[in-house]
Every structure is written in C-alpha cells, then in structure tokens.
Structure 1
Amino acid sequence: PRADALLCGKHFLEGAMIEEAYVFPRILEERSSDGLKLVTIDGKTTLRLEKASVLAETLLVTSYDENGQMTHTPIQAEEIEKHHYRDREQYASLMVRDTGNGLEMTGMVDAVTRIEPVHTAPRSLDGSLPHRLHTMTDEDLERLKKIATPINSHMASLLAPSSARADPRQRKVMQEVSIISDSEHHKEMTRVQLCVYIVIFMTAVSMRFDQTSNPTIEFRVVQVVMATEKQDRSFLHMHKEYVEAYATLNKMYNFTRQYENSYPDLFLALSGRDLVTVNKNGHISKGIAGMAQVGGACSTYANFAIAEDRGKAYLGIYFAAHEMGHSYGCVHDGDGPAKHIHGHKGSQDPDCDFKNGYIMSYLDGGINRFYFSKCCLEQMRVFLSNQLEACFKNTFQVNFMKTFPNLLPARVTSVNRYCQAKYPDMNKTFYEPDRRKEIKCKVICSGYRTDGSKRSIVTQALDGMICAQGKSCIKGKCITG
C-alpha cells in the first residue's frame, strides 16, 4: 500500500524580472561575537547575514566508479560550511569569503536572484571583485509556470500505537535527509562543488520550514549520493530523454533499500532532467516538477521524493520545499483530508484556499509563495504526532560508523566536538587552529573557566586529522595518506 502520490506543477513568481547586472558587494559591518555580517550588494540592497548550517557534523558522500562499485567518503561539515551564511528575511543563502583580495559571494541573494563572482572582469577602483547578479531566463520562467494534476492512491492508516508514539510536547525535531543527485544534476561539478551547491540549496529550502512550530522542523543533510549514468537507470524511469515521474517514484523504493544500514528520515532525489508524465497512449505531459508521497517521511516504504532542479541555478528550491511539504503530511491547499493519516483535516478552510498561492498551491500568491498555509502547518503537526519515536532519533552517523568500522576517528568527529568531549569542565570549548602544532599532530583546545578566564590545552590529535596538505595524523605522526 502507498500514501497519496502528488505530481507537482511548475510555477514561479509572475513578477520576477529577467535581467543581468554587475555589482560590487562590500561588508558594511562585521561582528566577531556572533559572526553577523552586514553586506551591501549594490549600494541599495543590504543583507543581514548570520552563520548557517544544514549539514550533519559529518557528511557522507557516496559515489560510484565505472563498474558501479560504491565508495563512501566522510567529509567534515565545517570544511564545507565554513563560509556559509543566510538572511532569513530575504531568503538569502550564500557562501561568503573575505579573501583578503576582495569579497566573494556565491548563491542566492533572494528567492529569485543568484550571485556569482566574475574573476575575468575588471575590479572597481577600490579593488572590489565584480559579481554577476542574474534571475530567471524566459525559458526558465515559462517552464516554472506549468501546472500538473495530482494523482491519488490509497494506503492503510499510518497511526502508530499510542505507547510507541513520540512525545507530543517536543519543541523541535531534527530530520535527517539524504540527497540523491542524478548524473545530469551534478554534470561537470566536482564533489566539493556539489556539496557547496547542496548546502546553499537546502538552506533555502529549510528556511521555508522556519514557520513550523510545536514542533519546529529542522533538516540536516546527512548524505549526498552522486549517481552515475549507470546508477541513474536504477532509480530513474526514462522515457526518451525525459524522466517519467510516477514510475520513478516506484523505482526509488528498491534503489534506496541499498542504504538501509544508514537510514535517513527522507530521501530527496534532485534531477537535472525534465520530469514528465506519460499516459496510456504515450502522450507526454511536461507539466511536472516533482512527486512525493503524502506522509511518506520516516516510513520504510515511502520516505522518498523527487524534484526537478535544472541548470545548476537553484530552480528546484520551491519544488523541493513543496514535495517535502507532502512528505511531512500536507495535501495541496484546497484539498480534503488525507484519510490514511489519523486526525488529518485537509486544507479546505477558506484561509487555505488554493487561490491564496501558498507553497502547497501552484499559483503566485506574492509573499505567500514563501510560506505554508495554516492548514498545512497543522497537517505537519498532526503527521508528526502520529510518528514513532524512531522518527526523531538522529542515528545516521552512528549507523554508518558501525557499517564502516575502519573509518579513522577524525573523519567522523570534528575537532571542535573532540575538544568539547575531552574537556567537559570548560565552557564554550572550541578548537583553536595552530599549524605549527598540527604538523606535530597536536591540537589546541580552548575554553573558559567558571570565572570567565580563558584556558588553552595542547593535546594529541585524533587519528585521521589533517595535519598538512595531503597528510593526516596516524599514531601521532603526520604522514601522507
């Protein structure tokens, strides 16, 4: 049995301007206490950037060789997210680096405008690096305006036994997400480039869920799967050059079973190909942007969704948020209740009308486009209240450490976490970089005593910690490998 399956249409802001411009971003103010940066983009637009994180402490990157052999590479989140910032009000998600030779910004300035540095263009008189601002092309805007019809199916109730259900008083739940990137989605991208792209993308998606409450839903990306063309055929159902959405969702069940030892709450596939539906007569409809099972998250048979994200331009942010809304219990605004979810009341309240243009609609509701309707928010609460406690236990990292026992400790534990665990008596304990110590496989753990004075301790580095370029600490020695 299956949950309601919804094919989701392509649409975006009618008022989005199509333009390209060059700007010279500058930092107006920077606070060391909380990492806040005030950055002006063009002398008119100012972003209030705060440090952001959407990755688990250790990200597992799964790739395949030409023979289909799977390889798992753990990457410390701090390596990817060191320069990661967001502005909640503007929906900005950016990598911001002060290189000493000019400010570099990459990502989304707002919901429709992206920015990237242009190293080949001349700098300003004060040496600032030029950046290109650009929004959607005509083709992108047309593609995003298409509409699809939902497809419904039936399944048994998802209600867990009351004795096994999660504590309804939880204020916040952390959900673990595995991203599957098809070969077209990460074409010509390195592993690190894809991870950076996913960080910017998923931060923008996660900000749509900031309004959830009792509990607040937060997401952590625990895995990025880089599929090859051969692997694509394992979970994508191709029809000519297109991805047939409904059949693909059926295939994803078998594909995701190979990751059962390290199981997330949700698998989200991002495709760089055009999603379609095909009827019995072979007619192709291109009005599809994604598909998910209503209430599929945390289950063992429906915890997967697919969203189109073409052109490496963050076009799929809205689609992914919409599909994840389905996965966490939301029907389309205006629709009746999902009968397989106990207590689900649907979205037929006048305040949740389809015409209001919230995330679970296809219409442009202006500012509503960035918010879930009150009905959808309530549906997510109801869905989570029906879940087993296991839905809220973040076990992915523990499980993959059991699965891959030969991983070196520093590959799955950040140095900050190591310092905090080693010196629990200190407050605000942190790792203090010192290359002269690191080359000797030593690290400095610093923190504060109860009287507020700083304390620093030199201790042995963990096996696997990077001590120099291309070298790691093994048994106290900095060696190649």
Structure 2
Amino acid sequence: MKFKLKIIARYTAIMFNSANLRYRSMVQPKVQLTVVGITVTNAPSEEPYMVEVDGYTATRNVLYGATIEKFKDYVALQSYFNSADVIWLLTGKNMSRWENKKLIGNSGGFAYMAGVCTKWKVGMTEERYGSYYGVFVLAHELAHSLGCAHDGDKAGSWPAGHIGSADCSYDDGYMMSYRYKNPNMYKFSLCCQREVLNIYNRPQYECLIMKNSVKTSIFSSKLPGEVSSRTTYCKQVYSTFTYVEADKKYDMSRCIVKCYISRNGDNMLIGAVDGVHCATKKVCVLGNCTSKPEIDKAE
C-alpha cells in the first residue's frame, strides 16, 4: 500500500509541475501550486460522494454536478482538509452530464468560481492514468477556483465585485478558452490575471497568502514526458480505438505526437506533454522544443 501511495503522490506532483509551467505566465500576482497532501481511495465505499450513472457501470460514468456537490459536503466534514486552500478530486472515471435526455461524457473538469478559501474550495478533473492528458483542464479549472472566468465572459454575480473577462477575446486562445492557439494556449490572459489579483487581497481569501500546512510538500523534479512514453500517451488519449500505437520515428522537433489509430495508417496528431525528448539535450516545454526548465520546490 505504501508503494502505491508513493506512485500516486509522484504522479500527482508531476502533473502539478506541468500545470505550474502554465502558471508562470501569471506576473501579478505570481501563482505557484503546491501539493500538500493526498488522500487515496481503494474501494467504492470510501467514495460516498461519487454519483454513478445507473446502467453505465462498464463505461464508469459519473454525474460530475451531483458528485462535486456531495464532495463539497464531504470535505466540510473532514478536519484534515481545513488547512488546504483548495481540495481537488482527481478521477479516472468518465465525468458526465445529462443533456436533453442524452448522457454527455466530454466534461473534463469542474470548479466553483472563486471557490478557493471558501466552503466551495473543491474542484474535480478527469485524468487518464499514464497520459498526463488532464494537465490543461487541471490548470484551467484551478484558475476558475482562483476567480477566472472564461475569456470573453461578462462579470458574474459571485464573488461580489467580480470583474469578468469580456475585454479578452475567447478567440485569442488563452488558457481560459478552448481555442487551443499556440502559444497562447499555454498562458493565462491579462483578464484572468486581473481577476486573481482582484480576490487576492480580500479578507475572505487570506488563505492565499498564508502558509497553513505544517507538512513537507509532495515534490518531484520530473515532467510528464520524462516518466511516460508516447505510446502510453496515444493509447490513453485514443482509448476507444482497438489499435493504437505511437509513431516513434516521427519528427518531434515541433512537439507533436503522431498516433496511429488503425493498422491501415490512419493517424491523429496531438501536442506532446511537457518533458518529451525532442532533440539532443532538449525536451518539449509548453509546445516548444527547448531546454528543460528548473522545477522549483515551494518555499
């Protein structure tokens, strides 16, 4: 069991390393995510908050809206969560919702707007183990928890004094949109940074400037591509196909992975995770083939 815990802790730390590379784009205020604890569940009885979908056990569908609400209530009853700024539910299950009587399974994550430090300080993202594919959604949803709206959205009713991001175009493709435009897709817009600063100095968000944890943070110096293969990445991302392999001869200088999804040569191109070897003494970092950055441990 201890070995399993160490593997999961290391995996989570590496995910957050990759997410933190995206948060380096925040200048004012600076943001660094720190994992201070991990709770691992081993049986359904240890996850009373999971709301599964009747008849969809084989595909592991859970209703994320009801799940996150129950998870919020569960967290409130566990005293060991009190000192954390935000508590995150990482799951390998298929986050889903009902829409016009149809079950939709493309919801990769959810977080309450500006929920950090409050009773809504929970979020949830899906991760296909071994792929690190969930890093983008993890960073995106954590930004919601820090107060960021989607780029292009008007101010909301919560929190009071919310500014919104109407003056930042969704089509610019920053982290708080789903346009995926390089290089903006690895950065946060000025609107998002402004919103984090907007809540940063408020009394109800003082947890952001306090160091509450008395324990050593969970740390790794690795990036996802250093511990996971391209084949694993392809197989996890395109798991619905019966045949999946990575093209190991494909030129990685553009940090694009070529995944075969049939024996006939049908393929998909997808951005490489951070840390994939792309040239001599170089790795992919935020879509570029460059030197590996220093991975800083939180002070």
User: TM-score band, normalised by the shorter chain?
Assistant: 0.5 to 0.7
Answer yes or no: is the 8 Å Cα contact 1:357–1:363 preserved in 2. yes
Is 1:246 aligned with 2:82? no
Q: CA deviation at 1:396?
A: 2.6
Q: CA deviation at 1:334?
A: 0.8
Identify which of 208, 213, 217 aligns with 1:396: 213
**Aligned-partner SS, 1:323:** helix
The one-letter amino acid paired with 2:62 is V
Which residue in the other structure is 2:127 paired with? 309
List gaps (5 residues or longer) in structure 1: 1-62, 64-72, 74-188, 399-411, 414-481
Which residue in the other structure is 1:79 paired with? none
Aligned pairs for 1:27-426 within 5 A: 190-231=4-45, 233-239=47-53, 240=56, 241-263=60-82, 264-279=84-99, 281=101, 283-299=102-118, 301-349=119-167, 352-388=168-204, 389-397=206-214
Answer yes or no: is the 8 Å Cα contact 2:173–2:180 preserved in 1. yes
Answer yes or no: is the 8 Å Cα contact 1:359–1:371 preserved in 2. yes
**Aligned-partner SS, 1:277:** strand
Q: CA deviation at 1:255?
A: 1.8
**Aligned-partner SS, 2:31:** strand
The one-letter amino acid paired with 1:192 is K
Q: CA deviation at 1:206?
A: 1.5
Q: CA deviation at 1:262?
A: 4.5
Distance in 2, matches of 1:285 and 1:315, equals 19
Higher Rg of the two aligned structures:
1
Instruction: Out of 260-269 and 231-240, give the one that drifted further.
Output: 231-240
Distance in 2, matches of 1:357 and 1:248, equals 29
Q: CA deviation at 1:355?
A: 1.1
**Aligned-partner SS, 2:156:** coil
What is the total number of aligned residue pairs between the two structures? 210
Distance in 2, matches of 1:371 and 1:384, equals 19
**Aligned-partner SS, 1:332:** coil
**Aligned-partner SS, 2:24:** coil
The one-letter amino acid paired with 1:395 is N
Gap change, CA 1:232 and 1:290, over 3 Å in 2? farther
Which residue in the other structure is 1:90 paired with? none
Distance in 2, matches of 1:363 and 1:390, equals 32
The one-letter amino acid paired with 1:204 is S
Answer yes or no: is the 8 Å Cα contact 1:293–1:305 preserved in 2. yes
The one-letter amino acid paired with 1:190 is K
Identity %: 23
Q: CA deviation at 1:397?
A: 2.0
Instruction: Out of 389-398 and 319-328, give the one that drifted further.
Output: 389-398
TM-score, normalised to structure 2, is 0.65
Gap change, CA 1:210 and 1:260, over 3 Å in 2? same
Distance in 2, matches of 1:229 and 1:304, equals 21
The one-letter amino acid paired with 1:306 is M
Question: Which structure has the highest helix share of the two?
Answer: 2
Gap change, CA 1:292 and 1:262, over 3 Å in 2? closer
Distance in 1, matches of 2:81 and 2:164, equals 33
TM-score, normalised to structure 1, is 0.41
Answer yes or no: is the 8 Å Cα contact 2:152–2:165 preserved in 1. yes
Gap change, CA 1:192 and 1:390, over 3 Å in 2? closer
Gap change, CA 1:204 and 1:248, over 3 Å in 2? same
Q: CA deviation at 1:338?
A: 2.1
Distance in 2, matches of 1:344 and 1:386, equals 12
List gaps (5 residues or longer) in structure 2: 218-299
Which residue in the other structure is 1:18 paired with? none
Distance in 2, matches of 1:336 and 1:253, equals 26
Partner deviation per Cα, 1:340-397 (whole Å, 9 max, x = no partner): 2233221111xx2111111110112111110011111101110212243344222232
Q: Which runs of 4+ in 1 moved over 4 A?
A: none
Question: Which structure has the highest strand share of the two?
Answer: 1
**Aligned-partner SS, 2:147:** coil
**Aligned-partner SS, 1:234:** coil
Answer yes or no: is the 8 Å Cα contact 2:15–2:132 preserved in 1. yes
Distance in 1, matches of 2:41 and 2:195, equals 33
Partner deviation per Cα, 1:173-220 (whole Å, 9 max, x = no partner): xxxxxxxxxxxxxxxx81111111111111111221112233212222
Q: CA RMSD in A?
A: 2.2
